[in-house]
A = this chain, B = another copy of it.
Amino acid sequence: MTNIDWKDKKNLSMLADFYEFTMANGYLECGMKDRIAYFDMFFRDIPDDGGFAIMAGVEQLIEYLKNLRFDEDDIEYFKSKGIFSEDFLEYLKNFKFECDVWAIPEGTPIFPQEPIVTVRGPIIQAQIIETMVLLTINHQSLIATKANRIVRAANGRAVMEFGSRRAQGYEGAILGARAAYIGGCVGTACTIVDRDFDVPALGTMAHSWIQVFPSELDAFKAYARLYPDNCVLLVDTYNVLKSGIPNAIKTFNEELIPKGFRPKGVRIDSGDIAYLSKKARKMLDEAGFEDCSIVASNALDEYVIRDLLNQGAKIDSFGVGERLITAKSEPVFGGVYKLAAIEENGQIVPKIKVSENVEKITVPGFKQVQRLYDKKTGKAIADVVTLHDEEIDNSKPYEIFHPLYTWKRKTVTNFYSRKLLVQIFDKGEPVYTNPNINEVKSYCSEQIDSLWEEVTRLESPHNYFVDLSKPLWTIKHNLLEEHK
């Protein structure tokens, strides 16, 4: 068995938990091949106790679903297990994706307990895709959410994604950089992401560049001669203030200025960045290089960046590596995929999963998520999870109420509503046009602007309301009564 086969394949259909297939085989054997089921992906907690998360990964989910198929070697593999029926192997061989799928578009702020992906279709198919739906959306939403936290801490300064070498696997680096860009980073250090995803790649030099030249000054000058219009020098190989900055200034004066170029920046990758950046700024300014940026890197995240800026660090942009690309402070986005309904004789029968932990009780039924915005401010007021075809009449006051503490009520007036789940597959056919990555990035930024700043605070943010519509609440309530 060769170990790189899987990289040659366009589809990741076999990237699924084995139990998806034992269950799928079971559904077939139990005569449930045509049983229509509804599954929702949703999450319960926002990473880092933040006020919102960011949806990402829809484009890759669509690619996966478009390519979903089982090849001869997949069938052979299942056959070799000796537990799958001939009918099931035949089913896989002729597999054609038939589900309807809805997803919240990439870049949208999302909140716990609301469906962010809904799948309707034959239960065999809706079951088999569980692992990849979760894996794809969990990963990119995690990184987009983390990146945006870091970008907010940087308070208008540029944040670059620098983490490939510490990512968890190749797509950890590649799709992680894509998600970081959606979340607000200005670029990545990773070349392949620039080539294939139109995320600008940035970067200058490593310490090794400095070390192979006879001196730091020689290394700087060689670089400045090569890249005069994009000259960012790494100044901490020997000593930032005694050697790096003085040599950088000398290089700027001798190699750039005579040729009509201005320096782009210096990068500090070690030491106390608050102290060093202030001293470096002063030295650069006194040498007439007020326009030379100071880039900081080395074990940064939103907490370190906030503290550096609070201490008056003179940093113009940040390169953020391992703590962004792995979402180190909380490296798991806990999306789950739960059965919400089945169809019986063409009727939707809502299903609930009860639990002693009230947070873990699922919301039954075929649903839509609607975001209510204040007409005057444009700010998002609340999300309401409704039945799929339920219309909210924007011309009348609308009462929202807490799904558990139902006495907590609020009447919303002068608002408009927007349905968040959009259809991406119709009976197995892709029906959604992915916006390009820069459109997603701008949309993300606009949508975050529509949140009250109480919700975007890094720590102890205000809890944004996600309520159930009255009809949906009634269904849930009745099912809970039945299960008592």
Contacts and interface: CB of A to CB of B under 8 A. Distances in A.
Interface string A149-185: 0000000000000101111111111111000000000
B164 A212 contact: no
Contacts of A202: 18
A342 B212 contact: yes
Contacts of A238: 354, 483
Given A12-B170, A170-B135, A326-B331, A18 B191 contact: yes
Which of A21, A209, A270 gathers the greatest number of chain B CB atoms within 10 Å? A209
Contact of A3 (B35, B162, B196): B196
Contact of A169 (B172, B323, B355): B172
Contacts of A4: 10, 63
Nearest to A35: B212
A203 interface: yes
A358 interface: no
Contacts of A95: none
Given A19-B189, A169-B171, A170-B169, A332 B326 contact: yes
A318 interface: no
A213 B263 CA distance: 69
B334 A322 contact: yes
A353 B237 contact: yes
A414 interface: no
Contacts of A166: 134-135, 138, 332-334
A10 B7 contact: yes
Copies per complex of this chain: 2
A195 B77 CA distance: 7
Contact of A23 (B60, B142, B205): B205
A206 interface: yes
B23 A206 contact: yes
A90 interface: no
Contact of A168 (B139, B162, B355): B139
B63 A18 contact: no
A323 to B, nearest CB: 8
Nearest to A164: B131
B22 A173 contact: no
A238 to B, nearest CB: 7
Given A1-B196, A10-B4, A130 B165 contact: yes
A6 interface: yes
Contact of A15 (B37, B173, B339): B173
Given A169-B170, A192-B6, A332 B339 contact: no
A238 B327 CA distance: 34
A15 to B, nearest CB: 5
Contact of A18 (B15, B123, B142, B203): B203
A367 to B, nearest CB: 17
A246 interface: no
A42 B74 CA distance: 39
A173 B354 contact: no
A422 interface: no
A208 B14 contact: no
A206 B25 CA distance: 13
Interface in A336-371: 337-339, 342, 351, 353-357, 360
B17 A190 contact: yes
A32 interface: yes
A459 interface: no
Which of A22, A172, A207, A237 gathers the greatest number of chain B CB atoms within 10 Å? A172
A17 B226 contact: no
A364 to B, nearest CB: 10
A211 B351 contact: yes
A12 B332 CA distance: 26
Which of A168, A190, A271 gathers the greatest number of chain B CB atoms within 10 Å? A168
A3 B134 CA distance: 20
8 contacts: A16-B192, A20-B191, A22-B227, A165-B335, A168-B172, A171-B172, A172-B172, A238-B483
The 9 closest A-B pairs by CB, nearest first: A169-B171, A19-B203, A134-B165, A18-B203, A168-B168, A14-B192, A18-B201, A331-B331, A169-B172
Given A3-B59, A17-B190, A131-B164, 4 more contacts: A1-B197, A19-B205, A77-B191, A123-B208
